[in-house]
Amino acid sequence: MSTDTPQSGTNADTDADTDDDAAVERRSHEPLVRVRNLQKYFWENDSLLDRLLGNDRVAVRAVDGVSFDIYEGETLGLVGESGCGKSTTGETLLRLQEPTDGRVEFEGQNVYDLAGEALTEFRTDAQVVFQDPFSSLDPRMTIGDIVQQPLDIHDVGTEDERRERVRDLLERVGLSVDQLDRYPHEFSGGQRQRIGIARALALEPDFLVLDEPTSALDVSVQAQVLNLLDDLQDEFDLTYLLISHDLSVIRHVCDRVAVMYLGEIVEIGPVADLFEVPKHPYTKALLESVPRASTDERERDRETLTGDVPSPRDPPSGCRFRTRCPAVIPPEDLEIEQETYRELMDLRQRIEGEDISLESVGEDGQFALEDGPVPEADVPAFVAALKERLLDRDLPSPHDEIVEEALAELATSDWDAAAERLRAEYESVCERAHPDLRTDEQSAPEQHRPVACHLYGESPPNAVDPSSWRE
């Protein structure tokens, strides 16, 4: 783990080679943490009253089949948009939340089978640093008592030994022993996070989950905390799972990175390789969103994602990213530009979700379906008005005619028929089949890494050339 920005030149290249060799050496051993098919669902309509009324339970799939390994001494980054399940993954991994399914092994033992003394021992070996340094500390306790509390709970040493351990930890994280009797509200955000780190280290753990440890801090304080975590990792031989949405932090801190979208891992690999040659379209979109410090890139075009993140209550079929993907695969033998196909997919999704207002269509709302179906003679004008409202481009033939046939079905509010007309022509492999997280072996050997995308399966017809994403 290093927070230094890579520099050009022989020394930087040598350091990078050394880091790569160390990473390979670590991964030649069994992982410290092994996560397999981890699932965590939260259930709605699950009360006794709901059951009596016969309401169906609804699963919120916060984490849905996640698998990865973390090796001793490394820092694995877990990134993704807000709400993708990163924090829930970390909490479930530590058994702060009970899983719906799956397995987590720590030093070869299934965490979910542990009980009694074995579970207590796991609690000492695996700790967490929470995202919010303000709410994660008890305001009624002094910081000395906060850091000492884990030692008291696990009955570690004598009272004098515990207080000495607390003093050592506070000094190690950059605080003064004179502050032992002060309360959390007397400290800044960065100091509170240092207190949280000291508390997490009290039991001398081997593994830490860092849940966005710098997101609530100023930039200068972030650097101090990251440097501290770097020093502590070297000093105490720690292994980190770093959860963050800040890709600049991930790039300069982590050894490997896993990219998460809507409860699933879509790509995982060495951080340098993944940042230089992103494979999954979602990974590329995340990297495109990172602000650049260089003025040379002031005028660069930013490839932003369309649409909203789907709900984990009802995730899309097949590839969950397909509803926003700029490289979704058209049907076989369909000659169509990617931008046009993306717009047709967006239109179809709106029709399937009945997300188009038909209360007022055309100039001055001349068509209003709440008054009844559009007269047959007026259907062409109704379709033309909808096209003008819904589409940003003129469609080539025969796509223009197909869209008009679909929109004509809306003249009688037949949403199903309209959706089926578009589905029959434009259904993609991306929605029919779920892509597994598997190694891409089509690229050069040094770029082999797991990615969940049909573009890296058995080369479907009409698949977009991945190299074109970076043009």
Give the whole-angstrom CA distance, residue 321 versus residue 260: 11
Give the whole-angstrom CA distance, residue 336 versus residue 471: 19
Give the pLDDT of residue 238: 95
Q: Taking Cα atoms as reference points, which of 271, 225, 279 lies closest to residue 435?
A: 279
Q: Taking Cα atoms as reference points, which of 449, 65, 99 lies closest to residue 283?
A: 449
What is the residue type of 351?
I
Helices 143-153 and 189-201, packing angle to 10 deg: 20
Residues 6+ apart with CB under 8 A from 54: none
Give the pLDDT of residue 233: 93
Give the pLDDT of residue 25: 57
Give the whole-angstrom CA distance, residue 12 versus residue 115: 47
What is the residue type of 38?
L
CB 157 within 8 A of CB 165: yes
pLDDT tens over the chain, length 471 residues? 544 433 334 344 444 455 555 555 555 578 999 999 999 999 887 777 777 877 888 889 999 999 999 999 999 999 998 889 999 999 999 999 999 999 999 999 999 999 999 999 999 999 999 988 888 899 999 999 999 999 999 999 899 999 999 999 999 998 988 989 999 999 988 899 999 999 999 999 999 999 998 887 788 788 888 889 999 999 999 999 999 988 888 988 999 999 999 999 999 999 999 999 899 999 999 888 776 655 555 555 566 677 778 889 889 999 999 999 988 999 988 888 888 999 999 999 999 999 998 888 887 777 777 778 888 998 999 999 999 999 988 888 899 999 999 999 999 999 999 999 999 999 999 999 999 888 766 665 556 788 999 988 654 444 544 444 433
Does residue 101 come out as left (phi exceeding 0), alpha (psi in the -120 to 50 range) or beta? beta
Beta bridge partners of residue 41, listed in sequence order: 61
Q: Taking Cα atoms as reference points, which of 434, 430, 457 lies closest to residue 279?
A: 457
Give the pLDDT of residue 290: 73
Question: Could you give the dihedral angle defined by the CA atoms of residues 49, 55, 56 and 58, in that order, rounded to the nearest 10 degrees?
Answer: -70
Residues 6+ apart with CB under 8 A from 223: 3
By three-state DSSP, how is residue 269 classified? strand
Give the pLDDT of residue 288: 85
Domain regions of the chain by residue span? 10-276, 338-427, 434-470
CB 205 within 8 A of CB 158: no
Give the pLDDT of residue 140: 94
CB 237 within 8 A of CB 188: no
The length of the chain in residues reads 471
Give the pLDDT of residue 260: 96
Instruction: Name the pTM for this structure.
Output: 0.83
Tokens representing residue 264 in the block = 């699933």
Give the pLDDT of residue 16: 46
CB 279 within 8 A of CB 453: yes
- Please list, residue by residue across 333-357, b when 16 or more beta carbons sit within 10 angstroms of its beta carbon and e when fewer do: eeebebebbbbbbbbbbebeeeebe
DSSP-derived secondary structure letter, 304 = P
Give the pLDDT of residue 19: 55
CB atoms within 10 A of CB 36: 14
CB 289 within 8 A of CB 271: no
By three-state DSSP, how is residue 54 classified? coil
Fold of 10-276: Rossmann fold (3.40.50)
Tokens representing residue 42 in the block = 């939260």
Q: Taking Cα atoms as reference points, which of 230, 322, 254 lies closest to residue 79?
A: 254
